[in-house]
Amino acid sequence: MNAPVLPGPLKDNPSLARWVAFPAPGQVAINTGRVEIGQGVLTAMVQIAADELDVAMTRIAIRSGDTALTPNEGYTAGSQSIQFGGVAMRQACADVRALFLDQAAKVLACPVSELSIRDGSILRNGVTTGQDYWTLAGAVDLKANATGAGQRKPVAQLKSIGQSSARLDLPGKIFGQATFIHDMRLDGMLHARVVRQPNRGASIGAIDERAILRAAKAPVAFVRNGSFLAILGDDETAVDLAAVAADTHVKWQNVETPTAVQQEANWLLQRPAVDRIFGAEPADPKGRERFERTYTRGYLAHASISPSCGLAEFRDGHLTVWTHCQGVFPLRAALAKTLGLEASAITVHHVQGSGCYGHNGADDAAADAAIIAMQKPGVPVRVRWRRDEEFIYEPKTPAMIVKVHALLDDAGKPTDWTQEIWSPTHNQRPGAGGNLLGALALPNPPPEPPPNDVPESNGGGATRNAEPLYDIAAKRHIHHLVTETPIRTSALRGLGAMPNVFALECCIDELAERAGQDPVEYRLSITAYKRARAVIEKVAAMAGWKAGEPGGAGRGRGIAFARYKNRAAYAACVVELDVDEGVRLRHVWCATDAGLVINPDGVINQLEGGIIQSASWVLKEQVRFDNSVASGMASFDWETYPVLKFSEVPEIDIALINTKDEAPLGVGEITAGPTAAAIGNAVSHALGTRIRDLPLTRERIMASLLKE
Amino acid sequence: MTQKFDFTVNGKPVSVALDNEETPLLNVLRNELDLMGTRFGCGLEQCGCCTVLIDGVPEKCCAKPVWSVAGKAVVTIEGLGTPQRPHPLQQAFIDEQAGQCGYCLSGIIVSAKALLDKNPSPTRAQIAQALDDNICRCGSHNRIMRAVEKAAAQLRAGAPS
If asked whether residues A369 and A473 sit together in one domain, one would say no
Q: How far apart are CA A580 and CA A577, in angstroms?
A: 10
Q: Which of A353, A351, A369 is nearest to A194 (CA)?
A: A369
Task: Kindly state whether residue A278 falls inside one of the protein's structural domains.
Answer: no
Per-residue pLDDT at A80: 86
Distance CA A496, CA A488 (A): 16
Task: Please state which CATH number belongs to domain B3-79.
Answer: 3.10.20.30
- A603 and A670 belong to one structural domain: yes
- Domain co-membership, A143 together with A202: no
Say if A177 falls within a structural domain.
no
At A392-436, the pLDDT tens digits run: 999 999 999 999 999 999 999 999 999 999 999 999 999 766 789
Confidence class of residue A696 from pLDDT cuts 50, 70 and 90? very high
Give yes or no for residue A153 having a pLDDT over 70.
yes
Cα–Cα distance measured from residue A365 to residue A354, given in angstroms and rounded to the nearest whole number? 14
Average pLDDT, chain A: 95
Residue A377 sits in the same domain as residue A411 = no
Does A416 lie in the same domain as A312?
Answer: no
Confidence of residue A140 (pLDDT cuts 50, 70, 90): very high
Q: Say which CATH number the domain at A354 has.
A: 3.30.365.10
**Domain end point (choices A132, A165, A198):** A165
Look at residue A404 in the predicted model and tell me its pLDDT.
98
What residues of A are in contact with residue B42 (Cβ under 8 Å)? 307, 387, 637-638
The reply to whether A38 touches chain B by the CB within 8 Å rule is yes
Chain A residue with Cα closest to B30? A183
Same fold, B3-79 and B88-156: no
Q: In 10 A of CB A26, how many CB atoms? A: 15
Residue A152 maps to a domain:
yes
Which of B31, B76, B103 to mutate to test binding with chain A, by most A CBs within 10 Å of its CB?
Answer: B103
**How many other C-beta atoms are found inside a 10 Å radius of the C-beta of residue A23?**
11
Instruction: Give me chain B's average pLDDT, please.
Output: 97
| CB nearest A183 (choices: B36, B132, B142) | B36
- Residue A43: alpha-carbon gap to chain centroid: 18
Judged by CB atoms within 8 Å, which residues 44-63 of B form the interface with A?
A: 44, 46-47, 49
Please give the residue of chain A at the shortest CA–CA distance from B135: A645
A404 and A378 inside one domain: no
Q: What is the pLDDT of residue A658?
A: 81
- What is the domain count for chain A? 3
Model confidence pLDDT, tens digit, residues A34-61: 999 999 999 999 999 999 999 999 999 9
- pLDDT, tens digit (0-9, with 9 covering 90-100), for A334-365: 999 999 999 999 999 999 999 999 999 999 99
Asked if B128 and A646 come within 8 Å (Cβ–Cβ), the reply is: yes
- Give tens-digit pLDDT for A602-634: 999 999 999 999 999 999 999 999 988 889 999
In total, chain A counts a number of residues equal to: 708
- 3-state class of A86 per DSSP? helix
Q: Which residues contact B105 (CB under 8 A, 6 or more apart)?
A: A173, A174, B93, B98, B99, B144
Whether residue A45 lies within 8 A of chain B, CB to CB, comes out as: no
Quick one: pLDDT at residue A192?
98
Domain of residue A611, residue span:
400-426+461-707
Q: How far is CA A401 from the centre of its chain?
A: 21
- Are residue A365 and residue A472 in the same domain, yes or no? no
pLDDT at B6: 98
Flag whether residue B90 sits within 8 Å of chain A, measured between CB atoms.
Answer: yes
- What proportion of chain A, given as a percentage, has pLDDT over 70? 98
Listing DSSP states for B10-67 in one string gives TTEEEEEEES-TT-BHHHIIIIIS--TTSPPS-SSS-S-TTEEEETTEEEE-SS-BGG
The secondary structure of residue A84, as a DSSP letter, is: I
Residues A313 and A353 in one domain: yes
Residue A84 sits in the same domain as residue A227 = no
Tell me: do A109 and A226 sit in the same domain. no
| Residue ranges per structural domain of chain B | 3-79, 88-156
Strand partners, B51: B60
Domain covering B88-156: architecture: Orthogonal Bundle (1.10)
Which residue type, as a one-letter code, is found at position A371?
I
A547 part of contact set with chain B, CB < 8 Å:
no
Interface check B82 vs A, CB under 8 A: yes
Rounded to an integer, the average pLDDT of A297-310 is 98
Q: pLDDT by residue (tens digit) across B126-149?
A: 999 999 999 999 999 999 999 999
**Under an 8 A CB cutoff, do A170 and B102 touch?**
yes
Per-residue model confidence as pLDDT tens digits over A431-482: 766 789 999 999 999 988 888 999 999 999 999 999 999 999 999 999 999 9
Q: What region does A348 belong to: left with phi over 0, alpha with psi -120 to 50, or beta?
A: beta
Q: pLDDT band at residue B115, thresholds of 50, 70 and 90?
A: very high
- Length reported for chain B: 161
Give the model confidence (pLDDT) of A547-600 as tens digits: 988 887 899 999 999 999 999 999 999 999 999 889 999 999 999 999 999 999
- pLDDT score recorded for residue A3: 72
Query: Which residues are CB-contacts of A191 (< 8 A; sequence separation ≥ 6)?
Result: A232, A233, A234, A235, A236, A239, A382, A384
Res. B122: pLDDT tops 80: yes
Residue A1: per-residue pLDDT: 47
Q: A-chain residues within 8 Å CB-CB of B19?
A: 217-218
Q: Is residue B17 predicted with pLDDT exceeding 70? A: yes
CA distance A291 to A417: 9
What pLDDT is attached to residue A2? 62
